[in-house]
Chains A and B, each alone.
Chain A
Amino acid sequence: MTNKVIGTGSAKSRAGSRLKDYAGLLPFLAFTGLFLIYPTLSVLIGAFLDPKGKWDLSAIRNLFSDPVTKNAFANSMQISFTTAISGAILGGLFAWALVSGKKEGFFYRFSVALSSVLAQFGGVMLTFAFLATFGFNGLVSGYAVKHFPNSFLSNSSWLYELNGLSVVYTFFQIPLMVIVFLPTIQNLRPQWREASDSLGGGMLEFWLRIGIPVLTPSFAGAALLLFVNSFSAYATAQTLVNVSSLLTPLQIGAALTSEVGGANPSEAKALSLLMVAVVTVAMFLYSLLRKKVSKWESTR
């Protein structure tokens, strides 16, 4: 749309106001240039340079040969995959349960508010919550020691392994799924259900033929978001486990801060490039799925 008030007059003054238009972007460009574009480029390009700034592929090559890196990456993929699935299923079911209840009731409002808090407050607080539950002297482990001394719950060491971390991650994946999926599931119109009912379809038919096909693209999209969320997570793992060989983000953190042997920025940059590549692929798939969803949503 053209703005008729400014830009009339001679060609010269129009060119002048054009220049002024672009000048209005300067503060924003200065700020994003320094704190977003420069760091991003320095990581993406720096992965291919040695510390002296010369072209060098050894950091990238190390990614594919170093067994520790490979193992951490495999662990990262595994935990992101499992917690994306478990979080998506549990959170999706919970979102359905919320929608099928009384809307705008206290329980609904409370659950939505709690979900937005818990989805944001991962990290340190989450670690303390699970230490208080399953850690040494925690609520559940204390109970297990008394009543089921032979179960795995009585020994807290499982919490610090990959499976334990998956249980912790699922805790913040569920509320995120509830928030992301709630609007979609609200779009399942009661009329469809009534139509299915009046044609003699049961609950199973409704879900198999209408509910699941309609919800699948946005469910998959939400699961991808959860995957990215868990793949990028650092704070929870760092405060709970802090074994740098366990996950790729922890490895990056260690490469940046390690006091023994000194920081290794080129290793950190190569690992970062790997992470960005994975997240970019996931976000690309997500945007494809979103397009499908919005097509469906615009025809409703």
Chain B
Amino acid sequence: MKRTWKVKTWRLFIITVVGLYLILPLYSMFDFSTKPFTYFEKGRTLSAWKMIPKQPDLAISLIRSLTMAAIVMALILVVIVPTIVWIELRLPKLRRPMELLCLIPLAIPAIVIVVGIAPIYRWLSINVTESPIALAWVYAVLILPYTYRSLAASLAANDIHTLAEAAQTLGSSVPRMMAGIIMPTLRTGILNGSFIAIALVLGEFTISNILNYKTFQVVIAQIGRTNGNVAVAVSLASILLVLAILLIIPNSKRQKEVLDVDVA
């Protein structure tokens, strides 16, 4: 009995202290965003929130970032996952080099990737396209370690060799085997990878800022330079939105696997 009392007190103390650390800045954002910012207003006002839709670049940049997230997901589905599966099935000797290749981005900070990739994007913007959507390629590289890890977990849990043999004995072509049999088996791993893709693309600032592309975060930073209240309101809104999405996904198994991805 004495133990549970002690544990409860400690628990309450820790949760209060750390919880305050995490919640206070979020509450301050709410407080700040509802402050009046003209002389005509008194007390609380929602005018900063009402100005969110009127920000010129915001909606475009959000759509842009979401488009890039979609392209990254397409790259995961069409290039990355089939290659990892292909190596597992046909070229098992390359498994280890592939793992190393996929983990390189963990050892290279984003700011270093920019240094190496800046000339490529300078060339791309002069000769091919100035559209920020081209950033989707780097983002797909940044996401490689996470995709690889979540997929490796799925591969370990399923015997895709037997599935592939069965499919081919029954006369299925290779693309059909990939798309119809193996990918659906690995869908939890693929889903987790895609989920992280959205979070990464929407939150990315370093690369796009230095390469001078207007992505979601860059535009928020830009708004912050002219109108702090609105920038704070946008930030809080997007944090709450993602939080709500995460809470609505009630599947505890998926949440656990998302955790495992980050851990591994």
Task: Tell whether A75 is near chain B: CB-to-CB under 8 Å.
Answer: no
Chain A residues with Cβ under 8 A from B235's Cβ? Answer: 124-125, 128-129
Task: Tell whether B59 is near chain A: CB-to-CB under 8 Å.
Answer: no
Task: Tell whether B200 is near chain A: CB-to-CB under 8 Å.
Answer: yes
Min CB distance, B143 to chain A, in Å? Answer: 11
In the complex the two chains form, is A140's CB within 8 Å of B120's CB? no
Chain B residues with Cβ under 8 A from A174's Cβ? Answer: 18, 21-22
Task: Tell whether B116 is near chain A: CB-to-CB under 8 Å.
Answer: yes
Task: Tell whether B117 is near chain A: CB-to-CB under 8 Å.
Answer: yes
Task: Tell whether B118 is near chain A: CB-to-CB under 8 Å.
Answer: yes
Task: Tell whether A90 is near chain B: CB-to-CB under 8 Å.
Answer: yes
In the complex the two chains form, is B18's CB within 8 Å of A32's CB? no
The interface size of chain B toward A, counting residues with CB under 8 Å, comes to 91
In the complex the two chains form, is B109's CB within 8 Å of A93's CB? no
In the complex the two chains form, is B259's CB within 8 Å of A112's CB? yes
Interface flags, A212-253, vs B, CB<8A=1, else 0: 000000000000000000011011001100000000010011
CA distance A113 to B90 in the complex (A): 39
Chain B residues with Cβ under 8 A from A6's Cβ? Answer: 90, 168
Min CB distance, A238 to chain B, in Å? Answer: 7
Task: Tell whether A1 is near chain B: CB-to-CB under 8 Å.
Answer: yes
CA distance A224 to B120 in the complex (A): 32
Interface flags, A249-270, vs B, CB<8A=1, else 0: 1001100110000000100110
Task: Tell whether B179 is near chain A: CB-to-CB under 8 Å.
Answer: no
CA distance A121 to B106 in the complex (A): 18
Task: Tell whether A64 is near chain B: CB-to-CB under 8 Å.
Answer: no
Min CB distance, B90 to chain A, in Å? Answer: 4
Task: Tell whether B74 is near chain A: CB-to-CB under 8 Å.
Answer: no
Task: Tell whether A210 is near chain B: CB-to-CB under 8 Å.
Answer: no
Min CB distance, A237 to chain B, in Å? Answer: 10
In the complex the two chains form, is A232's CB within 8 Å of B111's CB? yes
Min CB distance, A1 to chain B, in Å? Answer: 5
Q: Is the interface of B mostly helix, strand, loop or mixed?
A: helix
For window 24-44 of B, CB contacts with A under 8 Å fall at 24-29, 31-33, 35
Given contacts A114-B243, A120-B203, A183-B259, contact A256 B112 (CB under 8 A): no
In the complex the two chains form, is B25's CB within 8 Å of A275's CB? no
Point out which of A27, A28, A46, A279 has the most chain B C-beta atoms below 10 A from its C-beta: A28
Min CB distance, A93 to chain B, in Å? Answer: 5
In the complex the two chains form, is B238's CB within 8 Å of A114's CB? no
In the complex the two chains form, is A3's CB within 8 Å of B165's CB? yes
Task: Tell whether A203 is near chain B: CB-to-CB under 8 Å.
Answer: yes
Task: Tell whether A104 is near chain B: CB-to-CB under 8 Å.
Answer: yes
Q: Which of A34, A197, A279 contacts B109 (CB 8 A)?
A: A279
Min CB distance, A15 to chain B, in Å? Answer: 14
Min CB distance, A36 to chain B, in Å? Answer: 5
CA distance A281 to B11 in the complex (A): 36
Q: Which of B25, B117, B221 contacts A39 (CB 8 A)?
A: B117
CA distance A154 to B118 in the complex (A): 42
Task: Tell whether A42 is near chain B: CB-to-CB under 8 Å.
Answer: yes
Task: Tell whether B130 is near chain A: CB-to-CB under 8 Å.
Answer: no
In the complex the two chains form, is A249's CB within 8 Å of B111's CB? yes
Q: Which of B18, B120, B231, B246 contacts A113 (CB 8 A)?
A: B246
CA distance A79 to B241 in the complex (A): 31
Range of interface residues on A (Cβ < 8 Å):
35 or more
Min CB distance, B132 to chain A, in Å? Answer: 15
In the complex the two chains form, is A128's CB within 8 Å of B209's CB? no
Interface flags, A105-133, vs B, CB<8A=1, else 0: 00001101110111011111111111111
In the complex the two chains form, is A32's CB within 8 Å of B232's CB? no
Task: Tell whether A94 is near chain B: CB-to-CB under 8 Å.
Answer: yes
Interface locus among A18-26, A49-57, A65-73, A145-153: A18-26
From B260, which residue of chain A is reached at the shortest CB distance? A183
Given contacts A121-B203, A128-B224, A231-B109, contact A180 B90 (CB under 8 A): no
In the complex the two chains form, is A256's CB within 8 Å of B114's CB? yes
Chain A residues with Cβ under 8 A from B94's Cβ? Answer: 25
Task: Tell whether A138 is near chain B: CB-to-CB under 8 Å.
Answer: yes
Q: Which of B82, B140, B260 contacts A31 (CB 8 A)?
A: B140
Q: Which residues of B contact A (CB under 8 A)?
A: 3, 6-7, 10-11, 14-15, 17-19, 21-22, 24-29, 31-33, 35, 75, 79-80, 82-83, 86-87, 89-92, 94, 101, 104-120, 137-138, 140-141, 144, 161, 164-165, 168-169, 199-200, 203, 205-206, 209-210, 217, 220-221, 224, 228, 231-232, 235, 238-239, 242-243, 246-247, 252, 255-256, 258-260, 262-263
Q: Which residues of A contact B (CB under 8 A)?
A: 1, 3-6, 21-22, 24-25, 27-28, 31-32, 34-43, 46, 90-91, 93-94, 96-97, 100-101, 104, 109-110, 112-114, 116-118, 120-133, 137-140, 170-171, 174-175, 179-180, 182-184, 197, 203, 231-232, 234-235, 238-239, 249, 252-253, 256-257, 265, 268-269, 272, 275-276, 279-280, 283
Q: Please, could you name 8 A-B residue pairs with CB atoms under 8 Å apart, sorted by A?
A: A32-B101, A34-B137, A40-B104, A109-B255, A118-B22, A128-B232, A183-B259, A184-B263
